[in-house]
């Protein structure tokens, strides 16, 4: 599962986007400039992997809106992945170009 996560930029980017606060589907789409099909694929994967969960937004009337937030498992993964990237950053001998791909994934 984690291999598949690392193999897809979109999945990691969506997971990162949810780190600070929960976002609705269209908010994820706008903030990452992704088309709906790509967001849908990422969210479907991340839910199945139990890294994120949906939650309905309390409201008395109108459509029942949903936002996605990190599950504990997703939060733990991002912390671990963040440490990994930090280690890469703290080793200048690795060289910028060699680790640029990893930096991109945390943006």
Partner 1 sequence: MAVVFLLGPGMWEPSKGGAPASQTPMDVRRKIAKVLRDFHHTVVLMENEPGRKAEDIIQKFDRLLRSKVTDVVLYWPPSAKMQTTYDELILLYDRQRFLRKSRIALWVLHHVSVAKITGDTFRVLEAGHRSRYLEAIARLGVTPLEWETDGDLEGWIQLLVSELGS
Binding site for partner 1 (CB under 8 A): 24-26, 36, 48, 50, 53-60, 63-66, 71-73
Q: Radius of gyration over alpha carbons of the chain, in Å?
A: 15
Nearer to partner 1, 64 or 93 (CB): 64
Report, in Å, the least distance between residue 46 CB and partner 1. 12
List all residues 6 or more positions away from 4 whose beta carbon is below 8 Å from its beta carbon.
Answer: 11, 45
Nearer to partner 1, 36 or 82 (CB): 36
Burial class (CB in 10 A: 0-12, 13-18, 19+), 53: middle
State the nearest-atom distance from the C-beta of 49 to partner 1, in Å.
Answer: 9
Tokens of 41: 């694929």
**Which CB sits closer to partner 1, 75 or 106?**
75
CB of 11 to partner 1, least distance (A): 17
DSSP state of 51: S
């Amino acid at each position: 599962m984690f291999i598949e996560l690392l193999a897809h930029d979109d999945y990691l980017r969506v997971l990162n986007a949810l780190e600070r606060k929960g976002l609705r589907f269209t908010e994820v789409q706008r903030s990452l400039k992704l088309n709906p099909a790509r967001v849908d694929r990422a969210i479907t994967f991340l839910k199945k992997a139990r890294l994120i969960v949906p939650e309905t937004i309390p409201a008395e009337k109108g459509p029942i809106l949903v936002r996605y937030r990190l599950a504990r498992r997703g939060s733990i993964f991002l912390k671990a992945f963040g440490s990994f990237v930090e280690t890469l950053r703290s080793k200048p001998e690795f060289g910028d170009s060699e680790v640029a791909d990893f930096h991109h994934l945390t943006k």
